[in-house]
Amino acid sequence: MAHILVVDDDNGFREGLVETLVDLGHSVDEARSGEQALEMLESTGAPFTCMFLDFRLPGMDGLAVLDALRKTAKGQALPVVMLTGFASSDNTIGAMTLGAFDHLTKPVGRQAIQALLARIIASTGTSEAAANTSHPFSAESAGAKPRLLGVSETLREVQKQIGRAASSEATVLLTGETGTGKEVAARVLHDASRRSGKPFVAVNCAAIPAELLESELFGHVKGAFTGATADRPGCFATADGGTLLLDEIGDMPLPMQAKLLRVIQERQITPLGSNRVIPVDIRLVAATHRNLQTMVEAGEFREDLLYRLNIIPIALPPLRERLADILPLAEHFLAEVAKARSRELRLSLPAQHLLVGYAWPGNVRELRNAVERAGALAPGAMITAEDLGFLNGKPDLGEPLVGTGLLEMTLPDAVETLERALISHALTLASNNRADAARRLGISRQTLYAKLAALKIE
Ligand SMILES: Nc1ncnc2c1ncn2[C@@H]1O[C@H](COP(=O)(O)OP(=O)(O)OP(=O)(O)O)[C@@H](O)[C@H]1O
């Protein structure tokens, strides 16, 4: 049974709502104004489970009451359902910004009230929840140091490999699907190595147009090409003394691969437009989500370069192969959101089941984004499976590759539907970064722009 406060000056509506709530088995108190509600909240012995609050009230209006409530100790976390005769985007957004649990337009049916109360009780209950306020990495993740967090046997093995590699100077090749933590692993490696006080520079070979990559890596002198108005050092020079991560090395064009091979062998660079050779002292780390061996066989990647890069290979396993890491990581990301928003956030048991059962094609990045999204939008302290409902609409690895819907379409329609779905999915995974989305789709940015325009995707 919940203890509910109903605040409305409209006698007819208030009495009807109270009757329904009592009929559903709850105890109810009533207030006719915001001022009276705030007083009752202060003086009540039995704390309220939630409050139904009308927007239009004599004296303080609903939003002002909600605002005042959030500044009191007793009202800070109280779930509040705002009621309005006419929902507008302004009052909806205003209420949700102040942390209202939900926003309903009158009249409100009995079933809607029942469903809403079930959600409120689920989001505030503690019995079925992982109620501990500390998460597995609370001590480990303090401070700004990069951390490759995980408790699974597989990730522990990766942590050991990174530790061993850090004590050497050998080139490391990090492989793994997108979002598995390759860049984090490179940073951790740098941090644990003797070069930690020196620069760590990461360059994404897929995000830089082929014609600019050489200058980006090796630098250029003034006048080397149109637009080169001043000398500019490249990533190799900037990383001197430290570590250089060549991310998405599998996307490096073949002519550039030949130049990189020479630099790795000679440990010196020649900036574009200059004859001067500059020695560089860097620890090289390369990363890719592609299978370089297959690319070598297809003639798309130089075998001699792979041989040079693959001195210490470290594979980051996909999240679905290390289920033990899902909840500890989710709780870690949730604790970060909770801290940033100064509120308490927990995962309900059904939400935990949903997270563990999902296939995570975007791996830890997707998990982080999902938890951040749910944490930012959940109306209560408890993240429910419903708050993570957006994951259910996504393709699961267990689903058939081609849905029956597609099979019933004409070929042009099916191709367009598939293109649209793949592009939208890639944009979501890439947080709308188009260069990143193009890379995930395995197409050039120009092709992606053309498709976005043709499909009229905003
Ligand atoms: N083990 C981990 N512990 C903590 N955070 C992690 C871990 N793995 C990944 N992350 C987080 O997930 C996100 C993606 O990680 P990262 O950029 O290292 O992946 P990646 O494998 O390099 O992806 P891509 O191939 O798409 O570049 C980052 O926000 C990172 O902080």
Give residue 401's pLDDT: 47
User: Ligand 1 centroid vs 445 CA: distance in angstroms?
Assistant: 22
| Long-range contacts of 278-282, Cβ-Cβ distance < 8 Å, separation of 24 or more | 278/237, 280/236, 280/237, 280/239, 280/240, 281/240, 281/241, 282/236, 282/239, 282/240, 282/241, 282/242, 282/243, 282/244
Percent of the chain, pLDDT > 70? 91
**Rounded mean pLDDT, 94-115:** 82
Q: Which residue minimizes the CA distance to atom 16 of ligand 1?
A: 181
- Tens of pLDDT, residue by residue over 338-351, are 988 888 899 988 88
Cβ neighbours for 301, distance < 8 A, ≥ 6 positions apart: 250, 254, 257, 292, 295
Closest CA to 95 of 79, 111, 119: 79
CA of 287 to the centre of ligand 1 (A): 12
Q: Where are the alpha helices (DSSP H) in 24-100?
A: 34-43, 62-70, 89-97
ipTM rounded to 2 decimals: 0.98
Closest CA to 306 of 235, 250, 230: 250
CA dist 123 and 125 (Å) reads 6
What does the mean pLDDT of the chain come to?
Answer: 86
Which atom number of ligand 1 is nearest to the Cα of residue 155? 1
Is residue 429 within 8 A of residue 440, CB to CB? The reply is yes
Q: Ligand 1: does its nearest atom lie under 6 Å from the Cβ of 365?
A: yes
- Best mutation site among 177, 187, 188, 364 for ligand 1, i.e. most ligand atoms within 8 A of its Cβ? 364
Q: Do domains 3-124 and 153-319 have the same CATH topology?
A: yes
289 lines ligand 1 (CB under 6 A): yes
Residue 386, pLDDT > 70, answer yes
- Average pLDDT for 218-226: 87
CA dihedral 14, 16, 17, 23 (to 10 degrees): 140
Residue 349's pLDDT is 83
Q: Where are the domains of the chain?
A: 3-124, 153-319, 321-391, 404-454
Of 20-34, 45-59, 131-145, 162-176, minimum mean pLDDT range: 131-145
Q: Is the pLDDT of residue 132 over 50?
A: no
Give residue-wise pLDDT tens across range 311-323: 999 999 999 888 8
The pLDDT value given to residue 420: 86
Q: Is the pLDDT of residue 155 over 70?
A: yes
The CATH-assigned architecture of domain 404-454 is Orthogonal Bundle (1.10)
- pLDDT value at 200 more than 50: yes
Examine the pLDDT at 412 and tell me if it is beyond 80: no
The predicted-structure confidence for 242-285, as pLDDT tens digits, reads as follows 999 999 999 999 999 999 999 999 999 999 999 999 999 999 99
CATH architecture designation of domain 321-391: Orthogonal Bundle (1.10)
Domain topology for 153-319: Rossmann fold (3.40.50)
For range 289-297, the mean pLDDT: 94
> Residue range 418-427: average pLDDT?
85
CATH no. for 3-124: 3.40.50.2300
Rounded to the nearest angstrom, the distance between the alpha carbon of 185 and the centre of ligand 1 is 8
Mean pLDDT of 300-307: 96
Backbone φ, ψ for residue 355 (5° rounding): -65, -45
The predicted structure's pLDDT at residue 127: 36
Residue with tokens 């209006």: 61
Å from CA of 70 to ligand 1 middle = 36
